[in-house]
A and B are shown apart, each in its own frame.
Chain A
Amino acid sequence: MAQDIFERIKQQVDADRVVLYMKGTPSLPQCGFSNVAAEILNRIGVEYKTYDVLQDPSLREGIKQFSSWPTIPQLYVDGEFVGGCDIMRSMYESGELEQLINPD
């Protein structure tokens, strides 16, 4: 059972360059932290894929195990875990996040 969800997540993070696991959707976020995360990506202006963990309890638990990270939202870039909202905010402010997503 755990194997299936891990397989699914692996496929998800490999299928798109920028993947955000969040509560709700970018147009209808269900949590302040998820809202901030989506907003940051909107400002960077990159195309990104989101998964609403509120729609899928096995994904909601699975992503925490997969990333060894206890909270949502979670950002993956090029298949690598980048961090949650605080890390995204810190990296956005320093310019690191944009550099990671849109390297020159």
Chain B
Amino acid sequence: MEASRLQAMIRKAIPDAEVEAVDLQGGDHFDVVVVSDRFRGASLVDRHRMVYAALGDAMQGPVHALTIRAWTPAERDERVGG
């Protein structure tokens, strides 16, 4: 599984999202940052569930470990400095 594929899957399910996916190790351990207005008002659990749902079957095998940061644009600006 490649990071670009993860990115594409998330973008497909959450069209307004900015997505960065990084392969941390060996093609089965990834770090994703997803920034979307859709996360506004959603709990962390719900946000992560949206990302997991986007990846679907990939979570059953190819993706063994995933670090997720799911932010609204405002939260991202706060952290990164808009």
Instruction: Decide if A87 touches B48 in the complex (CB within 8 Å).
Output: yes
Instruction: Decide if A70 touches B59 in the complex (CB within 8 Å).
Output: yes
Residues of chain A with a CB closer than 8 A to B69's CB: 86
Q: Is B66 an interface residue (CB 8 A)?
A: yes
With A and B bound together, what is the CA distance between A81 and B48 in angstroms? 13
| CB contact list, B41-77 vs A, under 8 A | 44-45, 48-49, 52, 59-60, 65-69
Residues of chain B with a CB closer than 8 A to A81's CB: 45
Instruction: Decide if A71 touches B44 in the complex (CB within 8 Å).
Output: no
Instruction: Decide if A90 touches B52 in the complex (CB within 8 Å).
Output: no
With A and B bound together, what is the CA distance between A33 and B65 in angstroms? 9
Residues of chain A with a CB closer than 8 A to B48's CB: 83-84, 86-87
Count A/B pairs, Cβ under 8 Å.
28
Q: State the interface size on chain A (CB cutoff 8 A).
A: 15
| CB contact list, A49-104 vs B, under 8 A | 68-71, 81-87, 90-91
Residues of chain B with a CB closer than 8 A to A68's CB: 49
With A and B bound together, what is the CA distance between A102 and B44 in angstroms? 20
With A and B bound together, what is the CA distance between A29 and B60 in angstroms? 22
Instruction: Decide if B67 touches A86 in the complex (CB within 8 Å).
Output: yes
Residue of A nearest to B64 (CB): A71
Instruction: Decide if A71 touches B65 in the complex (CB within 8 Å).
Output: yes
B residues apposed to A, CB below 8 Å: 44-45, 48-49, 52, 59-60, 65-69
A residues apposed to B, CB below 8 Å: 31, 33, 68-71, 81-87, 90-91
Shortest 8 CB-CB contacts between residues of A and residues of B: A70-B59, A87-B44, A83-B45, A86-B68, A70-B52, A86-B67, A83-B44, A90-B44
